[in-house]
Amino acid sequence: MRGFLRMAAGVLVVASASLDLAGGAAAQTYPNKPVRIIVPIAPGSVTDVILRAAVDKINPRFGQNMIIENRPGASGIIGAQACAKADPDGYSICAVYHNTMSFNPHLFNKLPYDPEKDFEPITSLFFLTEVLAVSSATAAKNPVDLRKLAETQSDKLNFGTLGHGSLPELLVRWMNNQWSTRIAAVPFTGGGPIAQAMTTNEIQIGNMGLGNFLGQIEAGTIRPLAVTTAERSKLLPDVPTFKEAGLGAFSAQAWWGLAAPKGTPPQAIAAINKQFVQLFQEPEFKDFLEKRAVQPFVSSPQAFAAFLKEDRAGAAKIVEIAKQPRQEYKQ
């Protein structure tokens, strides 16, 4: 990870959004029609909000509209499959994240896409600050309280996840293994729905990007217990890290990036990379990201490919620690 960060920090992307793509006997200027971005998570989640804000900034510069298409569900598999099967013409790309590219290969048999063979990396985008939180209707004020509550009333505790193999589900499974409890994992399509369910106490626990919970934390309907990052969040300076809270044995970094179907022309990859790398380095947009507990993390396609290989190896270790069995994926 550190090696990749050093490599990504020095990346200079030189590309032009108006480069020519060969097409039969004639060349066409790219882009000459809208570009679809498949997002494998529900509208309203922090990643969806960020990507919509990004394309609003990029579209006037790009010359064509980038259009968000949400395809949530199944730990990102539905969206990843749609992207892998799309025409590799530069007009369909996708948001990818730790589940679709790193964890799913270790968790599912008969995965309908291959994260190594079916995609062209474009750029990493950002790391998420995730927070373990509870509904304010619960009595837990910290992770120690949560453990005591789970040990005595775990049959009354529901933990919102993004489905089998998602980081939240791996975390609740790890908790149950470590604490000898029976907290139930309840799948949702994104952080926004999880936050809403916690507000109404439909579920009691969640572990998602902090940006999903900020409004509810400010309103007092959700209580933060610990953040997953190595250092405390500037947005929640009084909330301990996982390590400080005694949860440091579960270590995973949530991230998002962009990829395209295998065979997408390199000129299109370079043009899209240029737009996102430039935007995510602009002070105004970086401030927008930081207010949503997100750290910008852009790179060249080559550096992102190296990161993906490293992250996939790390995911295998986390799956082993959580003792999560493989499942047959059924479409």
Residue 16 counted as domain residue: yes
Q: What is the pLDDT of residue 155?
A: 86
Backbone angles phi, psi at 32, to 5 degrees: -120, 10
Residue 248 counted as domain residue: no
Q: What percent of the chain has pLDDT over 90?
A: 70
Residues 119 and 7 in one domain: yes
- Give the range among 8-17, 64-73, 231-240, 313-322 with minimum mean pLDDT: 8-17
CA angle 269, 274, 275 (to 5 degrees): 105
Residues 185 and 115 in one domain: no
Mean pLDDT confidence for 165-190: 91
For residue 209, the enclosing domain spans 130-227
- Give the range among 78-82, 128-132, 161-165, 285-289 with minimum mean pLDDT: 161-165
Cα 172 from Cα 170, distance rounded (Å): 6
Cα 43 from Cα 30, distance rounded (Å): 28
CA atoms within 13 A on the CB side of 239: 22
Residues 303 and 258 in one domain: yes
Residues 142 and 63 in one domain: no
The 3-state DSSP class for residue 201 equals coil
Which bin fits 323, alpha (ψ -120 to 50), beta or left (φ > 0)?
Answer: left
Task: Please tell me the total count of domains within the chain.
Answer: 2
Mean pLDDT confidence for 176-201: 93
Residue 138 counted as domain residue: yes
Q: What is the pLDDT of residue 252?
A: 73
Q: What is the pLDDT of residue 21?
A: 43
Residues 184 and 272 in one domain: no
Residue 237 counted as domain residue: no
* Closest by CA position to 105, among listed 321, 311, 322, 323: 311
Residues 123 and 258 in one domain: yes
List pLDDT tens digits, range 69-126: 999 988 899 999 999 999 999 999 999 999 999 999 999 999 999 999 999 999 999 9
Residues 6 and 122 in one domain: yes
Residue 241 counted as domain residue: no
Mean pLDDT rounded to a whole number for the chain: 89
Tell me which range, 25-29, 48-52, 187-191, is most confidently predicted by mean pLDDT. 48-52
Q: What is the pLDDT of residue 250?
A: 80
Q: How many CB atoms lie within 10 A of CB 160?
A: 27
The 3-state DSSP class for residue 314 equals helix
Instruction: Supply the angle between the helices 191-199 and 210-219 in degrees, to the nearest 10.
Output: 20
Q: What is the pLDDT of residue 4?
A: 44
Residue 26 has pLDDT above 80, yes or no: no
Residue 246 counted as domain residue: no
Residues 64 and 155 in one domain: no
42: Cα separation from own chain's centroid = 12
Residue 236 counted as domain residue: no
Residue 20 counted as domain residue: yes
Q: Look up the CATH number of the domain holding residue 284.
A: 3.40.190.150
Instruction: Give 232's strand partners.
Output: none
Residues 98 and 157 in one domain: no
* Closest by CA position to 167, among listed 276, 292, 256, 65: 256
Among residues 211, 227, 243, the one where a domain terminates is 227
Residues 318 and 301 in one domain: yes
The 3-state DSSP class for residue 132 equals strand
Q: Look up the CATH number of the domain holding residue 147.
A: 3.40.190.10
Residues 214 and 324 in one domain: no
CA distances in angstroms from 321 to 14, 84, 169, 217, 274, listed in the order given: 41, 30, 13, 30, 38
Residues 51 and 185 in one domain: no
Q: What is the pLDDT of residue 133?
A: 98
For 307, the token pair is: 């990161």
